[in-house]
Structure 1
Amino acid sequence: MPVPVLHVCCGDSAAEVIRAGLNLPEAAVLVLRDDLAVGPLGDVDSDRPDARAAFWHAVFPDEDRAAIETGGRLVDQLAEEAAVLRALPDAAETFVLWHGSGAAEQLKLRRAIWALRDATAPLEEVAVGPDLLPGALRRDMTAVGMLEPEDVPRAAATARPVDPDRRARLAAEWERLRADGGGLRHHRGGIITTHPIDAHDAEILAAVGTDWMPAARVIGQPMGTIAGFFATDAFCFWRLRQLAAQGRVEFEGSPATIRGCRVRRTR
């Protein structure tokens, strides 16, 4: 049975803040967890997203992957999210899509609108901009999870309908982006661009010194400076491991976990 209003967001932090801020039951908020800013998208909407699952299997360090897969194999979790989106038009009488300016949330917006492309239910969006985040550490990108619960009602009051032209344009853009072979996606000024998966390797390498440093400290720097998408610790640590495979950095300890090793530039 459809709920009266379904709030759709990207990530558990966003879902938690929306529920707390609007005092909503769990069923009133749909959380989409796949970070669409990184990795191949060609099979993401299929019932067997094997290529996408293989990508994430390589990205996550052993410890993180084991924790994530307590909820089922990665491929099954991704397939379940695709199935939820296929059933989305019948899930609610009204939809509210929450997003900030980061690439993952912008891609989620486009994917959800694509899933609702033939739906007749009212569709609204809440755009979380810097004006709603006065205390945010980063001003170049915003995310719903940056909101404080007490600020959520003010954000919800800015909800506006998604007009038919915008719905058609963003749905078509999702189809184009899904077919694009780029490994990374940035969002700036309303435009999503695609880039090679190693586009930020130089920035990550620049954070590595010639003396041993904890890997967690190394990746913390590019996580705070990479623009266009929110680079996660798992992504930056994966790229650091790729730099090691290229012989540009070396590890001490086990790279199976971010906090289990140190890293330095190869001498």
Structure 2
Amino acid sequence: MEDLQSIKKAIDSLGHAELRSYLGFILAEIKRLRDQGGPTEDSITKLVELYDGLMGLQQQRGFWDPVPACTHVHIVIGDSFAGSMKYALKELGWAETHKVITLRENYAIGPLGELDSPEGRAARREWFRDHITDSFEDDVEVEEEYSMLVDKLTRIPEQAKIIVWTSSNACEQAGMRHAVHLLQSKRNTLTVCNACAICEELYNRPDARMEYRHSGEIPSDKLQEALRRIEDSSPLSHADLMRLVQEWQAISEQTSTLRIWREGAVLGVPADYYDSYLLDKLDKLNPPAGDHGFVKAARLIGEAIGYCEQYVGDSYFEYRLRELIYNGTLEIKGLPAAMRFYSVRRKQERQIGNLMG
């Protein structure tokens, strides 16, 4: 019975994307076993390794939670940067004393009103379900995740230095302000660090420059050097802390569902802000020969992401691409279940033959 409870707990800890990945792997191995007419040592070994990895996943995640003896707690925005941060801390040998808390929201998109209330989170989740195709979390899962976040923040010991990481994009800037808002009652030393700015200052030269759009793009070796510099950063004054809290309040009161970072501020912009940009990118792409002018949606979105100065995420561009299809600006070939399944082109005027005889 104890083993079954452990298995259930491990499964409950997975998100929908992880569940699909695990299930796909298991089904592929079962098919392989069936096709070969009996068990093979290779398949059995893989399934056992999968089981061991899944059962240890909860323990691995818990390892990064704040503990009474930790000296530093790093608050990061997004799973990609969280993975890089954890790897860099391990490489530095700091994993025992430096812990990580992740805010997983993409703060650049979707409503943020009353995000610290169940009603506000439900409204945000409803917007994602209506507009973002890869949004699968239900309200129960969202509430559990938020409770876990608050619990981790509460368990930060008083002696630990808190570093909130950000970068020059709306997602991480708004997320940083939300983190400061959630931490405002803590008595810890609180510092805000811009990982991308630190790395650009350290490594950019006149003949070789790299401008990062979000912290998840930073290679681990460069992130390690940024971590070595955190003690050089000054902690937030009470006035700065209160200013950031007030700025979060203002951001959360915006009615827009798209945000950009411009001139040191998170600005709300219309939902169709990038529509003309997407159409411009489409017009400049060369369609494959014989495909009647259609371009793969994934190719167009990849082009849009590659040249966009802001960090928004592919899911928002894909949402706007579908809106351009719905309003008749674009034509579609395929099914808009996911961007790899369909192609688009500009709406073509139908040729009407001369019926007069």
Same fold per superposition (TM over 0.5) = yes
| Structure 2: gaps spanning 5 or more residues | 1-66, 284-291, 349-357
> Which range is displaced more, 256-265 or 125-134?
125-134
> Which range is displaced more, 109-118 or 182-191?
182-191
Equivalent residue of 2:282, what SS? coil
Match of 1:39 among 91, 110, 129: 110
**Pair 1:258 & 2:339 matched:** yes
Once residues 272 and 210 of structure 2 are traced to their aligned partners in structure 1, the CA distance between those partners, rounded to angstroms, is 23
Equivalent residue of 1:208, what SS? helix
Equivalent residue of 1:28, what SS? strand
Higher RCO, 1 vs 2 (CA within 8 Å, ≥6 residues apart): 1
Once residues 165 and 186 of structure 1 are traced to their aligned partners in structure 2, the CA distance between those partners, rounded to angstroms, is 25
**Pair 1:5 & 2:72 matched:** yes
Once residues 97 and 145 of structure 2 are traced to their aligned partners in structure 1, the CA distance between those partners, rounded to angstroms, is 16
Equivalent residue of 2:165, what SS? strand
Partner of 2:295: 213
Relative to structure 1, is the Cα distance of residues 188 and 158 closer, same or farther in structure 2, using a 3 angstrom cutoff? Answer: farther
Once residues 109 and 81 of structure 2 are traced to their aligned partners in structure 1, the CA distance between those partners, rounded to angstroms, is 19
Match of 1:76 among 137, 140, 147: 140
**Could you list the runs of 4 or more consecutive aligned residues of structure 1 that deviate by over 4 angstroms after TM superposition?**
132-138
Structure with the higher fraction of residues in strand conformation: 1
Partner of 2:131: 59
Tell me, yes or no, if the aligned pair for 2:89 and 2:98 is still in contact at 8 Å: no
Tell me the amino acid that sits aligned with residue 101 of structure 1: S
- Any idea what the Cα deviations from partners look like across 1:125-162, whole Å, max 9, x if unmatched? 221213256499862x5322122111223212332212
Tell me, yes or no, if the aligned pair for 1:47 and 1:83 is still in contact at 8 Å: no
Question: Share of identical aligned residues, percent?
Answer: 27
**In the TM superposition, what is the alpha-carbon distance from 1:124 to its structure 2 partner?**
1.6
Partner of 1:167: 241
| Structure 1: gaps spanning 5 or more residues | none
Q: Give the alignment's TM-score, normalised by structure 2.
A: 0.66
- Any idea what the Cα deviations from partners look like across 1:46-78, whole Å, max 9, x if unmatched? 1241110011112322xx33xxx3xxx343343
Tell me, yes or no, if the aligned pair for 1:22 and 1:152 is still in contact at 8 Å: no
| Rg larger in structure | 2
- CA RMSD of superposed structures (Å): 2.4
Relative to structure 1, is the Cα distance of residues 142 and 25 closer, same or farther in structure 2, using a 3 angstrom cutoff? Answer: farther
Relative to structure 1, is the Cα distance of residues 25 and 53 closer, same or farther in structure 2, using a 3 angstrom cutoff? Answer: farther
Relative to structure 1, is the Cα distance of residues 25 and 214 closer, same or farther in structure 2, using a 3 angstrom cutoff? Answer: farther
What count of residue pairs does the alignment treat as equivalent?
A: 257
Tell me, yes or no, if the aligned pair for 1:19 and 1:25 is still in contact at 8 Å: no
**In the TM superposition, what is the alpha-carbon distance from 1:12 to its structure 2 partner?**
1.6
Tell me the amino acid that sits aligned with residue 184 of structure 2: R
Tell me, yes or no, if the aligned pair for 1:132 and 1:147 is still in contact at 8 Å: no
